[in-house]
Amino acid sequence: MAKHLEFGKLGESYAEKFLQDLGCEILLRNWRYKNLEVDLIVRDAGILVFVEVKTRRKLDYGEPFEFVDWQKKRKLTRAADVYLKKYDVTGEIRFDIISVLITDKDNIQLEHIKDAFWNE
């Protein structure tokens, strides 16, 4: 696996542990349908949450969450629509972003942005 993909998976692991510590139930990691992917699908107090995780080593080009552009948001909402239809899921949903900054093995910072955007 390419180093940048391994690094992304490491960030997802930190995000997953972070959400578990908050009491979220992890339902799926890296759910895929064709060219769509959701990093984490979790249940938070009855709400189905589609989570995008962005991991970076430094802030030279901005915060990790700033890399979730309109195209990524559109793909994530399309993936959520497919997931909801495929598994006949109803109820409240939301879209979260978790920014992970890993400057070294002892310096890991996470920022959780709840309701980061809506299905547009």
C-alpha distances out from residue 120 to 52, 57, 81, 117, Å: 16, 30, 11, 8
Q: What is the pLDDT of residues 61-71, one digit of tens each?
A: 777 788 889 99
DSSP assigned state of 46: T
Report the pLDDT value the prediction gives residue 82, as an integer from 0 to 100. 97
Per-residue pLDDT of the chain (120 residues; tens, 9 = 90+): 666 668 778 899 999 999 999 999 999 999 999 999 999 999 999 999 999 999 988 777 777 788 889 999 999 999 999 999 999 999 999 999 999 998 877 889 999 999 998 765
- Reading across the β-sheet that carries 36-44, which strands appear in turn? 25-33, 36-44, 47-56, 93-104, 107-117
CA atoms within 13 A on the CB side of 31: 22
Domains of the chain: 3-95+104-117 (3.40.1350.10)
| 12 and 29 Cβ atoms separated by less than 8 Å | yes
Cα 90-110-92 angle, rounded to 5 deg:
10
Helix (H) or strand (E) holding 81: helix 70-86
Report the pLDDT value the prediction gives residue 15, as an integer from 0 to 100. 97
DSSP assigned state of 119: -
Q: Which residues, 6 or more positions from 12, have their beta carbon under 8 angstroms from its beta carbon?
A: 29, 30, 39, 40, 53, 55
